[in-house]
Amino acid sequence: MTQTEKLKTVKKDLRSIDIEGSLFSGQCFRWDYLRNGKQIYFGVIDDNIFIIKKAKQTSYTITTSKNFSHDEAFHEFMNNYFCLDIDPNELFPVEFSERYPGIWKLIKPYLGLKILRQNAFETLITFMCAQGLGMKIIRRQISYLAKEYGEQYTVPLEGKPFIYYGFPSPETLAGTNPESLRLCTNNNCIRAKNIIDAAKSVASGVLDLECLKDPEMPLETARKRLCAHSGIGYKIADCILLFGLHRFSAFPIDTHVRQYLASWFSVGDALQTLTQKNYLFLQDQALRLLKPEFAGFAGHILFHSWRKEIKHLTTY
């Protein structure tokens, strides 16, 4: 199905946000940018197409395919998506900058990095695709997934029609089969099956993602619910909690996190294998270094800084 929609443009001052870092730090794989040097980013949030164009130093013009009722509603939406209600100055403990001046100097330029309040189902599937793979391949999988199973939209971008794909619904993914879906999961049939099973759980209501957002539910309980599904371990579950369920205390630990914990904070041993016990130990140590309520948020800033400043990774 193709639909052409009219675009509406709103100006917004996003000076406090590191847009590029937020969109391309590995918390989402659906945003893209025009590869012509211009700072134009585009992506889909809940079937609404967003085009973010840098206008001046601090202001951006944002174009959407679906209209908001008024500008205030638009701003409210953006503030929520980009987490502007969370003060970056509150993310780290007050004593952090004095205890780790060298690290603080490195991460300071990245304090504008935001955790995005993304769609829960999209994040669930995205990070199920992330198991043991590089970001480039993860991105490709998600791209294929949307292209194959998502709804198609055409909107004008820079004067030319541009084709976007929405993220497939739980029902759509639940209705496919592993042999078809494996084309979108790096040829991995097991992963395809796991994704279909998870989509079925969400579609049938067995897995209620919304209730996992409820702060009243302990983080451990929410993680346990996610881990009950095949293909989701602690790490993936924590990613889903942090990036898709707005749980800023969830602290996912991967190879990069392990590296910076060892190198920057002398926590654990980078050579030690990441067993469940070790995972929980490292997580506990991280909660001591950081503010427990924002451990994951701050951790993502550290993660991004580590990848950029130390490992010099340009792929995302």
Partner DNA sequence: CTCCAGGACACTT
Partner DNA sequence: AAGTGTCATGGA
Tell me which residues touch DNA (CB under 7 A). Answer: 25-27, 130-138, 182, 186-190, 194, 227, 229-237, 239, 252-257, 273, 275-278, 300, 303, 313
Identify the DSSP state of 248. Answer: T
Rounded to the nearest whole angstrom, what is the least distance from the CB of residue 164 to DNA in the complex? Answer: 23
Rounded to the nearest whole angstrom, what is the least distance from the CB of residue 57 to DNA in the complex? Answer: 27
Residue number, 132 or 161, with CB nearest to DNA: 132
Residue number, 63 or 131, with CB nearest to DNA: 131
Is the separation of the CB atoms in 50 and 62 below 8 Å? yes
Q: What are phi and psi of 117, to 5 degrees?
A: -85, 90
Token pair, residue 214, equals 């409820």
Residue number, 43 or 153, with CB nearest to DNA: 43
Q: What are phi and psi of 178, to 5 degrees?
A: -55, -35
Residue number, 40 or 142, with CB nearest to DNA: 142
Identify the DSSP state of 34. Answer: -
Token pair, residue 159, equals 């004067």
Token pair, residue 302, equals 């550290």
Helices (H), 56-187: 71-81, 96-99, 101-107, 120-128, 135-149, 170-174, 178-181
Residue number, 109 or 132, with CB nearest to DNA: 132
Token pair, residue 106, equals 């490195």
Residue number, 97 or 278, with CB nearest to DNA: 278
Rounded to the nearest whole angstrom, what is the least distance from the CB of residue 148 to DNA in the complex? Answer: 16
Rounded to the nearest whole angstrom, what is the least distance from the CB of residue 189 to DNA in the complex? Answer: 5
Rounded to the nearest whole angstrom, what is the least distance from the CB of residue 252 to DNA in the complex? Answer: 3
- Residue of 190, 150, 132 whose CA lies nearest to 1: 150
Rounded to the nearest whole angstrom, what is the least distance from the CB of residue 255 to DNA in the complex? Answer: 5
